[in-house]
A and B are shown apart, each in its own frame.
Chain A
Amino acid sequence: METRVIGKSVPRKEGRKKVTGRARYVDDLSFPGMLHGVTVRSPAARGRIRAIRFEGEIPWHEFTVVTAKDIPGKNCIALLIEDQPCLAAEFVNHPEEAIVLLAHHDKYLLEEARRAVRIEIEPLPAIFSIEDSRARKEIIWGQDNIFKSFCVDKGDVDGAWASAAFVVEGRYETGAQEQLYIEPQGMIAQVSEAEGVTVWGSLQCPHYVHKALMVLFGLPRERIRVVQTETGGGFGGKEEYPSMIAAHAALLARKSGRPVKIIYDRAEDMVATTKRHPSRTRHVTALSRDGRLLAMDIDFTVDGGAYETLSPVVLSRGTIHAAGPYACPNVRIRSRAVATNAPPHGAFRGFGAPQSVFALERHLDRVAEAVGIAPDELRRRNFIREGQTLAVGQVVKEKVDMNGLMERAFALSGYHAKRKKFAAANSDPRGAIKKGIGFASFLHGAGFTGSGEEYLASEVAMEAMADGTVHILAGSTEMGQGTNTIFAQIAAEALRLDCEQIKIIQPDTAYVANSGPTVASRTAMIVGKLVETAGLGLLKSLTDGEFLQPGYTAADFSRACGEYVAKHGPLKTFVKYEHPRDLHWDDLKYSGDAYGAYAWAVYVAEVSVDIRTAEVRVNDFVAVQEVGKVINPVLAAGQIEGGVAQGIGFALYENVVWQEGRMVNAQMTNYVMPTSVDLPAIRVYFEEIPYGRGPAGAKGLGELPLDGTAPAIANAIAQATGVDVRQIPITAETLLEMLEGVHA
């Protein structure tokens, strides 16, 4: 199909503003009379608050001080449930939990004041590991420390063991990971009788913040307004936590009667906000003599931290992705999210899938070894094909060619030749540098899971102005990933205009439609489709009314809009998501069509390991994926490159050092993310099989690269060193220890 702008790398809508420094982030905004706010946090992991003392030589009378007593509505950050307090009142359940808020016009003095607040806590026993939580060493949440559990059951796993030629078992672990968006979190709030509560800030999901503030203030919908300012990265980290900061700023604003700005510095952002859930996975896999999967028994646990937040949903995605793109007749996945006394873990690009995919893809290399076939041969014999059923019982209706992706990735990376060459070279004991090449094959579902999109029932509005400019009004946010640009492309394509004629309205809950949260690789595919439909709707109004004839120019379009508006008033369309009738999901059995579409991928990593220092270097990386129609190649490749870089961090560098539930390396010096010189060339390739329900055939791709990067690297390290990697991050310290074991 001939396209005008889809499939073209048009420049970023807000790119010029960003590179010229004109983009206004929340900390660039200032309001008359504005105060600054800070948060005083719990020094203890768990306990009862005994006293709060305001000490030091601080002019306390000049400060606005807020505690739980100042909350007008419910003391909670309403999300899935309402278990997390906005400010701890009597008990604290994790280090750095917010207890007191302070505001003052002098932000430096505010820091002195923060240090002068003494919070006395009578400690209660706390737990810090998945193991202790599951053993119920202490019950710290609900009846059993379990936020949520799932059981996926396909076929008859227990009946499969007897006939198996091989049964392979393995346990795998992944660590916490910090999102590390460039712009730390921040919010400004203003509260007045006349206008209710308004907040401006760096966030992914304006309507989540909106809901949380309604509950906190006990105010109706129209008395709360949430505006997204230019956002410097999110990666999931700005999905749920911004509600907390917005709530804090708004409470201070209400009490002081002035606008209040709260900006976290990097240290506070790292120590107090969410991270990727640490995980533990156990696999037991049964295979036939010829290496076909007979049964997969998977047990998956994530550490949710002290409150539920989004853990059930993260667990859900991790669970559904745990069995990968393979056809296996018998699959059981038991999973749970458990409580520990750490700050709540939360959304992070991939959302549970990178954890369970790491376990599976590392496990399958071990399975291949046990069966005595090559890792690619094992995959080849078990890849899912059109018409077969995934673990959750979803029949794959898309054209899928995992084998084709794998062959392409192997050809591009020289996989087979290198694997042989490295094996030979590594056997020379004199060599200090060992090399390896490994891969992972995986899928990632786009959109909310199961009936999620149906419940969300997202909406998009579009308005053509009299001058022919077309406005898109949606709550979907730009945070660097390209929403503005691809929406403009999709609308321009539908209306046969240029992107410049499309304007994206700043997400503001007072004006835009609720198009749902900007998460779950759903924005291009689900919301993009609504944008496309809205565009076609506008066009229909113009052509039906004979304002516009086929073969029109941009000038014709503008003129037609002017005439329409003059005659009928505003030209506006609303589109609401309609769940495809043939997608069914059973929440109780946890089975059915988990996602409307999947992205499919094979990633190959090449590494070298210096066995004297156990330093790992990724030398080459090939990422091949099928994501439906690519709307903007440069942006899409950028998403994959960034995701792979983040995946390399997840695999090798990013190690949260915990002490009693608190991150102690909360600085970028000691929490080590890869720099440009630590990264290889990341070579990105797309296969495009248009997806009928995506805009112009597009599927989602934002989270995908996080899933396969770490296991590809782990498998490469295993080839290089013979070390059976079971855990990430693979730090030099753990690897050296294991190397001693291998070479002793």
Chain B
Amino acid sequence: MRAYLPAYEMETPRDLEAALGRMASEPGVWRPFAGGTDLMVLLEAGKLPHQKFLNIWNLAELRGMEVSSEHVTLGALTTYTEVQRNKTLLREFPLLCRAAAETGSVATQNRGTLGGNIANASPAADSPPALIVYDAEIEIVSAGGSRWVHYASFHTEYKKMNLHAGELIRRIRLLRTHAQWKQYFRKVGTRRAQAISKICFAGAARVEAGRIADVRIALGSVAPTVLHAVRVEELLRGQRPGSAVLQAAQDALNAEIAPIDDMRSTAPYRRNVARNLLAEFLEVLAG
């Protein structure tokens, strides 16, 4: 442990109101601490600059799962383990379940939360591509009230997002319209478990009479934020998923992504694999 522990403080608020009140009283000073699976890594390495934390793990208002006829709504504290155990999610939102199953290890899945994955704002996070494909909306709350935002536009630049001091992510809402869509997920990590994504691809499409009636595609680790591949989607709508459209779609994707070299992989690798996964996705749609 490289951190100087006496410099850190943690409080456990009794309920959501108390938590938001605390955050409002000293804006930007208190930072939420959910499962801690991202924060503890920084603490251990002596790289956690923030020093005051609100332990939100026990806030009932951020937990639970609700299913209505139109939506499934997940509390921000929903863990990867809970995601994988939910029947509705397994049936209708397999991409999210796959992402959860391929996140870290069992221990990480027991503590790690969807809200934490979103707010940590890593471009390599694994649940965001699935959330974008499902057109998730997230509810953001503060002492001043609540607002819903489209998740696809939540992340603005590297590690920047539409979340202000004093705000918490409370819930995530998924539209139940994708159950009949053909779905494809593939995480390419450095190994088969306990791996950070080198590239993560989530896609789903409604195929009618051999044509792509609607499609959503998102990728991790290929741009400063998780990427919603809108231009590829535009190009594919109305087309037959086959070799005729493949090249143009791959070119569009290539133009849309901006991968980098880092210690886990290289930009050319990410470009090539993104292209190949798109081809695999189209094969799934054609099949």
A665 to B198, CA, bound (A): 15
- Determine if A736 is an interface residue (Cβ-Cβ < 8 Å): yes
Q: Is the CB of A108 within 8 A of B279?
A: no
Please name the residue on chain B nearest to A617 by beta carbon: B192
Residues of chain A with a CB closer than 8 A to B45's CB:
267, 667
Q: Say yes or no: A736-B190 contact (C-beta < 8 A), given A108-B6, A112-B4, A657-B263.
A: no
A664 to B262, CA, bound (A): 10
Q: Is the CB of A111 within 8 A of B195?
A: no
25 contacts between A and B (CB under 8 A): A108-B1, A108-B4, A111-B2, A111-B3, A112-B4, A115-B46, A267-B2, A267-B45, A612-B273, A612-B276, A612-B280, A613-B273, A664-B263, A667-B45, A670-B190, A677-B192, A677-B193, A678-B192, A678-B193, A732-B188, A732-B198, A732-B269, A733-B265, A736-B273, A737-B268
Residues of chain A with a CB closer than 8 A to B6's CB:
108
Cross-chain contact of B269 among A108, A665, A670, A733 (Cβ < 8 A): A733
A653 to B189, CA, bound (A): 11
Residues of chain A with a CB closer than 8 A to B244's CB:
none
Residues of chain A with a CB closer than 8 A to B107's CB:
none
Cross-chain contact of A670 among B4, B188, B264, B277 (Cβ < 8 A): B264
Known A109-B4, A665-B263, A670-B263; further 14 A-B contacts with Cβ < 8 A: A111-B1, A265-B2, A612-B273, A613-B273, A615-B188, A653-B191, A670-B190, A674-B191, A675-B193, A677-B192, A678-B191, A678-B192, A736-B273, A737-B268
Residues of chain B with a CB closer than 8 A to A546's CB:
none
Give residues of chain B (9-68) contacting chain A, Cβ–Cβ below 8 Å.
Answer: 41, 45-46
Q: Say yes or no: A740-B196 contact (C-beta < 8 A), given A267-B45, A670-B263.
A: no
Counting from the closest, the 8 A-B pairs by CB-CB distance are A612-B276, A672-B190, A733-B269, A665-B263, A657-B263, A112-B4, A677-B192, A108-B4
- Chain B interface (Cβ < 8 Å from any Cβ of A): 1-6, 41, 45-46, 188, 190-196, 198, 263-266, 268-269, 272-273, 276-277, 279-280
Q: Is the CB of A613 within 8 A of B263?
A: no
Q: Say yes or no: A675-B194 contact (C-beta < 8 A), given A108-B4, A111-B3, A267-B45.
A: yes
Residues of chain B with a CB closer than 8 A to A664's CB:
263
Taking the nearest CB of chain A, how far is it from the CB of B158, in angstroms?
18
Chain B CB within 10 A, most for which of A432, A670, A677, A733:
A733
Proximity bits, A716-744, B CB within 8 Å = 1, else 0: 00000000000000001100110010000
Taking the nearest CB of chain A, how far is it from the CB of B1, in angstroms?
7
Chain A CB within 10 A, most for which of B1, B2, B198:
B2
Taking the nearest CB of chain B, how far is it from the CB of A674, in angstroms?
6
Taking the nearest CB of chain A, how far is it from the CB of B51, in angstroms?
13
Chain A CB within 10 A, most for which of B45, B198, B269, B277:
B269
Q: Is the CB of A672 within 8 A of B191?
A: yes
- Determine if A3 is an interface residue (Cβ-Cβ < 8 Å): no
- Determine if A20 is an interface residue (Cβ-Cβ < 8 Å): no
Taking the nearest CB of chain B, how far is it from the CB of A314, in angstroms?
27
Please name the residue on chain A nearest to B5 by beta carbon: A108
Taking the nearest CB of chain A, how far is it from the CB of B127, in angstroms?
18
Proximity bits, A659-680, B CB within 8 Å = 1, else 0: 0000011010110101101100
Residues of chain B with a CB closer than 8 A to A267's CB:
2, 45
Residues of chain A with a CB closer than 8 A to B272's CB:
736, 740
A675 to B102, CA, bound (A): 14
Taking the nearest CB of chain B, how far is it from the CB of A241, in angstroms?
20
Taking the nearest CB of chain A, how far is it from the CB of B101, in angstroms?
12
Residues of chain B with a CB closer than 8 A to A612's CB:
273, 276-277, 279-280
Q: Is the CB of B195 within 8 A of A672?
A: yes
Q: In terms of DSSP, what is the predominant structure of the interface of chain B?
A: loop
Please name the residue on chain A nearest to B277 by beta carbon: A612
Residues of chain B with a CB closer than 8 A to A736's CB:
269, 272-273
A713 to B268, CA, bound (A): 25
A653 to B198, CA, bound (A): 14
Residues of chain A with a CB closer than 8 A to B268's CB:
733, 737
A677 to B276, CA, bound (A): 24
Q: Is the CB of B46 within 8 A of A111?
A: yes
Residues of chain A with a CB closer than 8 A to B191's CB:
653, 672, 674-675, 678
Give residues of chain A (620-669) contacting chain B, Cβ–Cβ below 8 Å.
Answer: 653, 657, 664-665, 667, 669
Give residues of chain A (107-150) contacting chain B, Cβ–Cβ below 8 Å.
Answer: 108-109, 111-112, 115
Give residues of chain A (198-229) contacting chain B, Cβ–Cβ below 8 Å.
Answer: none
Residues of chain B with a CB closer than 8 A to A678's CB:
191-193
Please name the residue on chain A nearest to B268 by beta carbon: A737
A210 to B66, CA, bound (A): 66
Residues of chain B with a CB closer than 8 A to A112's CB:
4
Give residues of chain A (252-300) contacting chain B, Cβ–Cβ below 8 Å.
Answer: 265, 267
Residues of chain B with a CB closer than 8 A to A432's CB:
280
Please name the residue on chain A nearest to B265 by beta carbon: A733
Residues of chain B with a CB closer than 8 A to A111's CB:
1-4, 46
A612 to B190, CA, bound (A): 15
Taking the nearest CB of chain B, how far is it from the CB of A60, in angstroms?
16
A379 to B156, CA, bound (A): 60
Residues of chain B with a CB closer than 8 A to A672's CB:
190-191, 195
A678 to B105, CA, bound (A): 13
A174 to B41, CA, bound (A): 31
Q: Is the CB of A108 within 8 A of B263?
A: no
Residues of chain A with a CB closer than 8 A to B276's CB:
612-613
Please name the residue on chain B nearest to A113 by beta carbon: B4
A665 to B45, CA, bound (A): 13
Proximity bits, A424-435, B CB within 8 Å = 1, else 0: 000000001000
Residues of chain A with a CB closer than 8 A to B196's CB:
669-670
A267 to B277, CA, bound (A): 34
Residues of chain B with a CB closer than 8 A to A675's CB:
191-194
Cross-chain contact of B266 among A653, A670, A733 (Cβ < 8 A): A733
Q: Is the CB of A108 within 8 A of B277?
A: no
Residues of chain A with a CB closer than 8 A to B280's CB:
432, 612
Give residues of chain A (413-448) contacting chain B, Cβ–Cβ below 8 Å.
Answer: 432
A667 to B272, CA, bound (A): 27
Q: Is the CB of A108 within 8 A of B3?
A: yes
Please name the residue on chain A nearest to B267 by beta carbon: A733
A265 to B268, CA, bound (A): 34
Residues of chain A with a CB closer than 8 A to B1's CB:
108, 111, 265
A640 to B264, CA, bound (A): 29
Taking the nearest CB of chain A, how far is it from the CB of B17, in angstroms?
34
Give residues of chain A (27-66) contacting chain B, Cβ–Cβ below 8 Å.
Answer: none
A251 to B4, CA, bound (A): 25
Proximity bits, A173-190, B CB within 8 Å = 1, else 0: 000000000000000000
Residues of chain B with a CB closer than 8 A to A115's CB:
46
Give residues of chain A (85-114) contacting chain B, Cβ–Cβ below 8 Å.
Answer: 108-109, 111-112
Residues of chain A with a CB closer than 8 A to B190's CB:
653, 670, 672
Residues of chain B with a CB closer than 8 A to A674's CB:
191
Taking the nearest CB of chain A, how far is it from the CB of B132, in angstroms?
22
Taking the nearest CB of chain A, how far is it from the CB of B31, in angstroms?
20
Residues of chain A with a CB closer than 8 A to B194's CB:
669, 675
Please name the residue on chain A nearest to B276 by beta carbon: A612
A612 to B201, CA, bound (A): 13
A670 to B196, CA, bound (A): 8
A378 to B194, CA, bound (A): 41
Residues of chain A with a CB closer than 8 A to B263's CB:
657, 664-665, 670
Chain A CB within 10 A, most for which of B4, B6, B188:
B4
Taking the nearest CB of chain A, how far is it from the CB of B185, in angstroms?
14
A657 to B262, CA, bound (A): 10
A318 to B265, CA, bound (A): 31
A664 to B261, CA, bound (A): 14
Residues of chain A with a CB closer than 8 A to B188's CB:
613, 615, 732
Give residues of chain A (672-695) contacting chain B, Cβ–Cβ below 8 Å.
Answer: 672, 674-675, 677-678
A432 to B277, CA, bound (A): 11
Taking the nearest CB of chain B, how far is it from the CB of A734, in angstroms?
9
Residues of chain B with a CB closer than 8 A to A108's CB:
1, 3-6
Please name the residue on chain B nearest to A115 by beta carbon: B46
Please name the residue on chain B nearest to A674 by beta carbon: B191
